[in-house]
Amino acid sequence: MEAYTEPGTEFKTCELDYGNGKIKLGTMICFDRDFPESARILMLLSNE
């Protein structure tokens, strides 16, 4: 399956309206947890 994938070049967030308000949501895959910068970038994007 890895032959059909390619690495991403950016992190993205989206806004989720769950009825009681809105939140920004970003995701990481298991491999990203080894790199604290991934979480930091998503945190900064969610505060925009």
Paired tokens of 23: 């939140």
Paired tokens of 3: 């032959």
pTM: 0.61
C-alpha distance from residue 29 to each of 18, 34, 39, 44 (Å): 23, 10, 11, 18
pLDDT at 38: 87
Return d(Cα 32, Cα 48) in angstroms, integer: 21
pLDDT at 17: 93
Return d(Cα 45, Cα 6) in angstroms, integer: 23
Taking only the tens of pLDDT, the chain with its 48 residues reads 788 988 888 888 899 998 889 988 888 888 888 888 988 998 888 887
Return d(Cα 11, Cα 41) in angstroms, integer: 7
